[in-house]
Amino acid sequence: MPTAANQHDLHEFLRAAGMALLYPSAANVLTSPEVLRIAEQLRTVQNHYFDGHAPARLQQAFRVLRLPDAPFRLRLVTAADSAQLLAWTNEPTVRQASFNPQPVPAEFHERWLNARLADPYALMLLAEEETTGAPVGLIRFSISHDEATLSYLLDPAYRGRGWAALLLALGTTHLVQTFPHLRRIVGHVQLRNQASLRAFERAGYALLPVPLSGEPDSVTFAWWL
């Protein structure tokens, strides 16, 4: 129950989100045989909003504000992009930064791409330069329940410009608009890939204390929603 004018907005938010009940109903709830179920329901909703990651979310927001506007746009990948994606995938620097450094055969790539395009829980976005339409890079996500795992790459011609962080930030925005139920996005990076480590940090992703990939000499970054 609000006791001051500046509490009304918070009161309305808590009620609308299902995190609180009206004060006059307290006596009835506390004596109800459903009190334990109601309490658990309230705790579940409260944990959704107050999960201990508020500092990380604030850091995300402020770091993204420091980024310039992206000089490229994103669109969905299509089957017509197959050759470009394969060329990027087998580019030597990309292979060195991958957890599997072996070149990808064309037939394997085609099967993989067709499977991803048919997967409702996959999102693949191709970046194109705003002025020329030239292909800049790729960011893709694999969704499992309320978590997404990302991977990205840039065309060699666009590396060293700070665009990787912009690709991560813009791709994250598109992902959340498409899958609003997500709670976390993660990306795995090899420790020797210093450029990618800096890109994730600039884009607002937080370094987790324990890596989740299971790969040696790697780290995991997370974006909390």
Mind listing the pLDDT tens digit of every residue in the chain (225 residues)? 778 888 888 888 888 888 888 878 877 877 889 888 988 988 888 777 788 898 999 999 999 999 999 999 999 999 999 999 999 999 999 999 999 999 999 999 999 999 999 999 999 999 999 999 999 999 999 999 999 999 999 999 999 999 999 999 999 999 999 999 999 999 999 999 999 999 999 999 999 999 999 999 999 999 999
Would 58 be classed as within a structural domain?
Answer: no
> Do 33 and 134 sit in the same domain of this protein?
no
Report pLDDT for 34: 86
> What pLDDT is stored for residue 161 in this prediction?
98
| In-domain check, residue 57 | no
Tell me, yes or no, whether 46 and 67 share the same domain: no
Query: What is residue 21's predicted lDDT score, i.e. its pLDDT?
Result: 83
69 with 99, same domain: the answer is yes
Instruction: Return the CATH number at 184.
Output: 3.40.630.30
Q: Which domain holds residue 44?
A: 5-50
Q: Do the strands 135-144 and 184-190 form a parallel or antiparallel pair, or are they unpaired?
A: unpaired
Q: Are residues 124 and 214 in the same domain?
A: yes
In a domain, 56, yes or no: no
Which residue type occupies 156? P
Per the structure, how many domains does the chain have?
2
Considering the domain boundaries, does residue 182 fall inside one?
A: yes
Do 44 and 69 share a domain, yes or no?
no
Same domain, 117 and 145: yes
Q: pTM of the full predicted structure?
A: 0.84
